[in-house]
Amino acid sequence: MSHAPQIKIPATYMRGGTSKGVFFSLTDLPEAAQVPGAARDSILLRVIGSPDPYGQQIDGMGGATSSTSKTVILAKSEQADHDVDYLFGQVAINKAFVDWSGNCGNLTAAVGAFAISKGLVDADRIPENGICTVRIWQKNIQKTIIAHVPMTNGEVQETGDFELDGVTFPAAEVVIEFMDPADGEGSMFPTGNVVDDLEVPGIGTFKATMINAGIPTIFMNAADIGYTGTELQKDINSDADALARFETMRAYGAVKMGLIKDIAEAVERQHTPKIAFVAPATDYQASSGKQIASNDIDVCVRALSMGKLHHAMMGTASVAIATAAAVSGSLVNLAAGGVERDSVTFGHPSGTLRVGAAAALVDGEWTATKAVMSRSARVIMEGNVRVPGDTF
C-alpha cells in the first residue's frame, strides 16, 4: 500500500508572553492554505496534533493546553501605515476545529520579532540599535497593535533581565500597545450596561460585567459563584462539574453579548468570549510557590480559556481587565476598590501583572483609547514542520 510522503513547511516555534505557538509566513504555506478554508485548517490541525481524543497532542507541536495549542500566520501588511498582518488561529485539542474569532495577546509579543527576522518590516524602519516600532494589523479583530522590539547590532534582542510571572526565565522586555482596544462596531459594553444580571437556567442569576475590549470577556464576582479569586489550576480544572457550569455561564453570556444567537453555537466559538471572576486583593500563594501580598495588587482575577482555568492570564483578557478596571462601577473596578485608575495590577495564578488602560465616557458611551503592557518573546526552534501530504 502506498501513502503520500510528508511535506515540509517552513515554520518557527516561538514563545510570546505566557503562550507558545507555531508561526508561519503566509507565502511559505502550501498554495491551498494561503487563503482561508478547509485546507488551511486541516494543515494547522495536523501541525498542532489535533483532534486528539487522548487530549495530549502527542503527534504534533501542541502542548495539550490552550496556551500551547496556537498558530500564527503573518504577511507583509496590506493596510496603510502598518508593517505586518497578524492572523491568529486557536486550535482545539480534542476537536477538528480552529477558532479564528479572536486575538492572542500573549503571542502578539512575538509577532514583531518574527516580522523583523523574516523581512516583513522595511529595512529603513529597523534601527541597528535601540527600539524597532512594529505596526501590527490584527486581522482577527481588525485592530492596530504597536510592538516595541529591542534591537542590538541589527538583530532582535531576545535575552535580557525582564521577568514575567508565568515564564520561568527572564528575557528582553517587549512593550505592547493595544490601540483602540474596544470593539469598533458597537458599544464597549454590548448590552449597554456596565453591570448586568446574567440569568443562567439551572444555575442561577449573577451580576456580570460583559465587555468587548481586547477580547470579549464576561466578568463575575468570585464570591457569587463560590470562589475566593485565589484559586489555582488544580482547584478548578480537576472539577468536571465546575468546568461544565463555567461553560454554561459562558454560553449564556455569549448570547447576551450578541456574539451568538443560541447557546448551542458556543461549542463552535470556544476562543471567545472568555469568562473570568474577580475578588478584592487577597494574600495567596502562586503556582510557583511565590507569596503574593494583597498590598502588592489591586484585585485578584482568574480566567478560563478553551474550557480550562488559565495558568496565568491571557494577554487579551489582561486588556479587558485593565479597561474594565478603568470604568467606574464595573465589577472589576469595584473589586479593585472602586476608585478612578489608569492602570491596574492584578493577581493571577502564576503571579502578578500590571496593565495600563484609559477609558472615558463620551456622549453616553464608554470608549477605550489604549492599553499597554510589557511582555517578552523568543524563538525556541526554527526550520520546518512536517505533515502528511494527504492532509489537505
CA distance 368 to 248: 29
C-alpha cell at 245: 457550569
Q: Is 282 exposed, middle or buried (0-12, 13-18, 19+ CB in 10 A)?
A: middle
Of 25, 30, 41, give the one whose Cα is nearest residue 8.
Answer: 30
Q: Is 338 helix (H, G, I), strand (E, B) or coil?
A: coil
The sign one gets for the Cα dihedral 74, 79, 82, 88 is: negative
Smallest CA-to-CA distance from 18 within 235, 165, 162 is with 165
| Contact in structure between 328 and 366 (CB atoms under 8 Å) | no
CB contact at 8 A, 252 and 200: yes
Q: Which of 61, 104, 249, 313 is catalytic?
A: 104
314 counts as catalytic: yes
Query: For residues 211 and 70, what is the distance between their CA atoms, to the nearest angstrom?
Result: 24
Helices (H), the chain: 38-48, 105-117, 233-236, 240-256, 315-325, 331-335
Extended beta strands in 169-257, E state: 174-179, 196-200, 204-213, 215-221
Residues 271, 260: Cα–Cα separation, whole Å:
13
Q: Which one, of 56, 72, 64, lies nearest residue 385 by Cα?
A: 72
Q: Extract the C-alpha cell encoding 329.
A: 462601577
Sign of the C-alpha dihedral computed for residues 18, 287, 311 and 252 taken in this order: negative
350 close to 311: Cβ distance less than 8 angstroms: yes
Q: Which of 132, 151, 188, 314 is an active site residue?
A: 314
CB 205 within 8 A of CB 196: no
Q: Which residues are part of the catalytic machinery?
A: 104, 314
